Amino acid sequence: MFKKLFGKPKSSSATDIKPHGKTDAMTTIERLNETLEMLEKREALLQKKMAEEIKKAKEYTKMKNKRAALQCLKRKKMYEAQADQLANQQLRIHDQKIMLEGAKATTETVAAMRSGAQAMKKLQKETNIDDVDKTMEEITEQTENLRQINDALGQPIGFAAEIDEDDLDAELQELEAEELDRQLMEPAIPPTSARAEPDVGLDLPTVPTGGVATAASTEEDELRALEAELAL
């Protein structure tokens, strides 16, 4: 009578284990997804900082400040190395997620096979121990393979942390050449105000004053144009 009310202890414990394992797998997958999102945001931030350093390097190159431009390029290289490391970490997490999903599918498959075996046991009133041993050996082998893969993925991936000064000099020369080409391609603006009207009275002292004001105005216009171009 008590068995009918409460059932067998072994069957109740087996049903408690299945949802627990399933919950752990889902929780781990969600945690991996959150970590991936965090790494992607961090990588995007590093990309933004790299772009800012390139922009600063161009400005310092224009100002003929080679030391400051090199410092910007060094920081850009450091951000680039961090971005590469984040990319490797994302790849590892993707691999772990795929393996975990595969292991979860394998576990559910084994659970379904176990349920089928139990149904066959009730029908046939017998159990083939050889098949059970073979199944357990396969599960053990797959679990060991997954453990070895996880251990291999857990090993740190090293990369060269030192920055090559020759690469920095080459990149700086490219920026200087780009700035020089841009300056050469700008059209020269002749001072038109000095030739707008002929001087009837030949008042020579007033000519240099107008020329200086026109040149200063032209330089200010060119400076504003350069600032607008660099701001793009």
105-116 confidence digits (pLDDT tens): 888 898 898 888
Give yes or no: residues 108 and 208 share one domain. no
Could you tell me if 160 and 206 lie in one domain? no
pLDDT for position 37 = 92
| pLDDT in the model for residue 80 | 92
The mean pLDDT value for 154-167 works out to 60
Helix ranges (DSSP H) in the chain: 2-6, 9-62, 66-124, 129-154, 165-185, 206-231
Residue 106 structure tokens: 């394998």
The C-alpha angle 213, 216, 220, rounded to 5 degrees, equals: 135
Q: Is 115 found in the same domain as 214?
A: no
In this structure, what CATH number is given to the domain that contains residue 34? Answer: 1.10.287.1060
Domain of residue 152 covers 9-165
Count of alpha carbons within 13 angstroms of residue 145, beta-carbon side = 10
Has residue 1 got a pLDDT over 90?
Answer: no
Counting every residue, how long is the chain?
232
Please state, in angstroms and as integers, the Cα–Cα distance from residue 164 to each residue in 57, 69, 74, following that order: 17, 15, 9
Domain assignment of residue 22, yes or no: yes
Higher per-residue confidence, 24 vs 196: 24
122 and 85 within one domain = yes
Q: Can you give the pLDDT at residue 180? A: 86
Q: What is the mean pLDDT of residues 48-69?
A: 90
Q: How many domains does the structure of the chain reveal?
A: 2
For residues 54 and 76, is the Cβ–Cβ distance under 8 A? yes
pLDDT of 116-143, one tens digit each?
A: 888 877 877 666 667 778 888 889 988 9
183 located within any domain? no
Q: Tell me which amino acid residue 201 is.
A: G
**pLDDT top residue among 161 and 230:** 230
Q: What is the average pLDDT value for the chain, to the nearest integer?
A: 75
Q: What is the mean pLDDT of residues 60-79?
A: 90
Q: Which amino acid is at 183?
A: Q
Q: Tell which wins on pLDDT, 34 or 158.
A: 34
- High-pLDDT (> 70) share of the chain, %: 64
Phi, psi of 30 (to 5 degrees): -65, -40
Residues 194 and 161 in one domain: no
List pLDDT tens digits, range 172-225.
888 888 888 888 887 766 555 545 444 444 444 554 544 444 555 676 777 677
CA distances from 230 to 62, 109, 173, 219 (A): 10, 60, 18, 16
Q: Are residues 117 and 227 in the same domain?
A: no
Tell me: do 115 and 213 sit in the same domain: no
Nearest residue to 56 (alpha-carbon basis) of 39, 43, 75:
75
Distance CA 48, CA 204 (A): 56
Residues 69, 33 within the same domain: yes
- Indicate if 161 and 203 belong to the same structural domain: no
Inside any domain, residue 179: no
Residues 64 and 148 in one domain: yes
Tokens of 94: 């993707």
Query: What pLDDT, on the 0 to 100 scale, is given for residue 107?
Result: 84
Three-state DSSP class for 194? helix
125 CB neighbour count, 10 Å cutoff: 7
Among 165, 198, 224, the domain-final residue is 165
